[in-house]
Amino acid sequence: MINQKLVRKIAKSAAAFLLAVVTGVTAIPQEAQASSLPYQPYNYNYWEDIVFTPAAYEPRKIVSGLDFTFEGEPIGAFVTPQDLCKSPTGDVYIADTGNNRIVVVDSTMTEVRRIITTFDNNGAEDGFKQPTGVAVSQSNQLYVADSQNRRVVVLNEDGTLARFVENPQSEVLEDGYQFVPLKVSVDYADRVYCIAQNMFEGIMVFETNGEFTGFFGTINVEISLWEKFWRKLATKEERAKSQLFIPTEFTGIDIDPDGFVYASNIDPNGEQGVRRLNPKGQDVIKKGVNENVGGDLWIDGNTDYSGPSQFTDVVYRDSGIYSCLDKKRGRVFTYDHEGNLLYIFGGLGTQTGTFRLPVAIENIDSDLIVLDATSGNVTFFNETEYGRLINRAVALRYDGDEAQAVELWERVLDLDENNELANTGIGKAYLTAGDYEKAMYYLELGMARDYYSVAYRRYRNNFLTANANVLLSILFVIIIAWVVWRRIKKKKGIVLFKKKGRKGGSPNA
Amino acid sequence: MRKFFSGEKWSYMFYTISHPMDGYYWIRHAERGSVPLAVLMVVLFSVCFTANRLLASFVVNDINPRAVDILYELAGVLAFYLLLCVSNWCITCLMNGEGRMKDITVAVGYGTVPITLVLILSTVISQFIADDEQAFYTLLLVVGIAYGVIMILIGIMQVHNYTLGKTLITLFLTFVALLIIVFLILLLTNLLGMVYNFFRSIYTEIIFRT
């Protein structure tokens, strides 16, 4: 007896020891994943709740003007730089607004290619005054929004002046209109798209010869019924004093290879901070499941830090993916062509990876670079494994290659179990493959109701066809049993339920 | 207890559902209804409502399960039931209504039964429908709710011996009374809170000074 007990005890403690060893071994971290980022990357799920995610992008380095020398001389800090863009050759052009110059650096931002301060204007030396926007065309011409000189300067690759775009003439412009270009962009046909100060009608478009042709992508003002009602009640003086209903201005432009214009704007409702304009100037953006391409969804509150995101620049990257830069909270929001929010990173602050006043964003291959006006520096973000998987999977889906994307989505799920896009992607692949039960499982996790419904319908049809004989037999048996039961009941007068109580409501009945 | 939940009361409740005019009349005049049974029906309604929100299939259900709290909803339904009965009683007292408080509670409580039944049925059916069959689910719910509302309307009409027009007017006034009661409750709690804060600040003042 005692022996048995002892043996059992020893066995028990040995098992406990083994268990401890095993868990101890497996608990050793494979890779330190503790975030060293100054912010916690997050995203919004179907219910518009915040879910924390792995980082899709990580800040790699910060470059400021003090890091550069040109021809042996230090070039000095950038002073309130306002824009940057990349050229087809891979160089990066920075509009160093406060220093009235354009700095051209190579794509890794290690050396300065050239600094443009002056150009030859018909024999006279001419320069920039507060250049706030730069763009490079596909033919490598440089477009500079020379804001205080009220013109867009077009320079050839060798630095000689090609032309000016200035002084737009049109009936739609009021007399004495001052053209102050802030941001500029150029499409494959060398048409110039220009955001001008105090120009609420839309983006100004100039033909190749510099002629102003009209406005593009006008944002309509929405007046609510309530506001209309109050304006009806108000007297003329009150109406004159009240705020004008002015459409929001555009803040940044980018043009994709197909000629669609991505333009960011500040939406006071926080619903749409970016537009995708087709060649007719109509907005054709898709808004995704949350009906929102306006940045943060949680914007309530009365502090300086609350309120809708303010998109100040947008960059079209590849395969329908575009990133928007929010200056309100210093975050970068990335969407796919369906308007799904892919990932969010960045923040306000002074640490690496955060900004004080972000003004422009650009991509260099898979990296993203963000220009900070107050700090006068450029932050490099490079994609992590998580970001790379999402980017590639979305690109495959964009190309219609959903089956190939499954493997990538499964690896995304290893990193981020609750990723709805990944679950939906896998579910859709199972749906096409014909495995409806698995498709239903993943599509429900991905909250893809439409596809789930399709999967369920096919699952149900399969089930009914497979089990038709059983189901029909059961039905047949029930009918027979019922008929037989009625016959017996009639013959023998069996009463199954005795009717209790009175029928009807009246006590006298 | 046996009296309130006897088989006779149960079977009469179902008789009332199928014959609301006659059923409610004798609830008022021959004590055929049961208040505890009516309250139980309201509790069941609340439970089934929550169950429908949680358990209806993914195809028709667009409710965040984290936002559903059965106790919170039960409290809300019971509070609304109480408010509705009290305010209806207040108004009908002044408008020559013949119904007593217990008749009103029974009228409203029995009226929830068809809605409860339909909620259960539609929750089960939702498990078997795909997206474009959603209309059946919605139709079922709408029919059930409409039947319940009509039952409550007939119930109030019969226990007070009103015409339909007068019933509608009293129902409108009932909702006005309901809002007034809610307003008074809010006012009262607010004022009581102020009084509480007053004494509390006196207390803290004394504590800090000594």
- Residue A505, min C-alpha distance to chain B (Å): 5
- Which residues in chain A touch residue B25, judged by CB atoms under 8 angstroms apart? 505
pLDDT at residue B144 greater than cutoff 80? yes
In a domain, B91, yes or no: yes
CATH superfamily membership of A384-486: Tetratricopeptide repeat domain (1.25.40.10)
User: 3-state DSSP: chain B helix, strand, coil percent, rounded to 5?
Assistant: 80, 0, 20
User: What average pLDDT does range A439-447 have in this prediction?
Assistant: 94
pLDDT digits (tens, 9 = 90+) for A40-56: 999 999 999 999 999 99
In a domain, B142, yes or no: yes
pLDDT digits (tens, 9 = 90+) for A116-153: 999 988 888 899 999 999 999 999 999 999 999 999 99
Specify the pLDDT at position A155.
Answer: 93
Give the range of the structural domain holding residue B37, as residue numbers without chain letter: 7-209
Is the model more confident about A20 or about A32? Answer: A20
Q: Do B66 and A47 touch (CB under 8 A)?
A: yes
Contact (CB, 8 A) for A216 and A174: no
pLDDT digits (tens, 9 = 90+) for B23-62: 999 999 988 899 999 999 999 999 999 999 999 999 999 9
Specify the pLDDT at position A30.
Answer: 44
Is the model more confident about A450 or about A223? Answer: A450
Selecting from A47, A454, A500 the residue whose C-beta is nearest the C-beta of B11 gives A500
User: What tokens appear for A118 in the block?
Assistant: 């002056």
pLDDT at residue B194 greater than cutoff 90? yes
- Residue B25, min C-alpha distance to chain A (Å): 8
With a pLDDT cut of 90, the percent of chain A lying above it is 55
Is the model more confident about A493 or about A498? Answer: A493
In a domain, B1, yes or no: no
With a pLDDT cut of 90, the percent of chain B lying above it is 86
- Going by pLDDT thresholds of 50, 70 and 90, the confidence category of residue B157 is very high
CA distances (Å), origin A51, targets A292, B126, B196: 17, 29, 40
Specify the pLDDT at position A302.
Answer: 86
- Residue A500, min C-alpha distance to chain B (Å): 7
- Going by pLDDT thresholds of 50, 70 and 90, the confidence category of residue A32 is very low
User: What average pLDDT does range A386-399 have in this prediction?
Assistant: 93
Number of domains in chain B: 1
Q: Do B58 and A444 touch (CB under 8 A)?
A: yes
Q: Do B15 and A504 touch (CB under 8 A)?
A: yes
Specify the pLDDT at position A242.
Answer: 74
- Which residues in chain B touch residue A449, judged by CB atoms under 8 angstroms apart? 58-59, 62, 131
Sheet holding A274-277, edge to edge: A250-255, A261-265, A274-277
Chain A interface with B: residues with Cβ < 8 Å: 47, 49, 444, 449-450, 452-454, 456-457, 460, 500-501, 503-507
With a pLDDT cut of 70, the percent of chain A lying above it is 90
Contact (CB, 8 A) for A105 and A377: no
Average pLDDT, chain A: 87
pLDDT at residue B2 greater than cutoff 80? no
- Residue B7, min C-alpha distance to chain A (Å): 8
User: What average pLDDT does range B121-129 have in this prediction?
Assistant: 93
Specify the pLDDT at position A186.
Answer: 92
B8, closest residue in chain A (CA to CA): A501
Q: Do A460 and B128 touch (CB under 8 A)?
A: yes
pLDDT digits (tens, 9 = 90+) for A98-113: 999 999 999 888 889 9
Which helix (H) or strand (E) segment holds residue B148: the answer is helix B134-160
Looking at this predicted complex, what is its ipTM?
Answer: 0.82
- Going by pLDDT thresholds of 50, 70 and 90, the confidence category of residue A7 is low
State the CB neighbour count (10 A cutoff) for residue A191: 18
Contact of B15 with chain A, judged by CB distance below 8 Å, is answered with yes
Selecting from A450, A501, A507 the residue whose C-beta is nearest the C-beta of B131 gives A450
Alpha carbon distance A123, A55 (integer Å): 53
Specify the pLDDT at position A29.
Answer: 43
pLDDT digits (tens, 9 = 90+) for A258-285: 889 999 998 888 889 999 999 888 999 9
How many residues are there in chain B? 210
Instruction: Give me the residue spans of the domains in chain A.
Output: 384-486
Q: Do B130 and A444 touch (CB under 8 A)?
A: no
In a domain, B2, yes or no: no
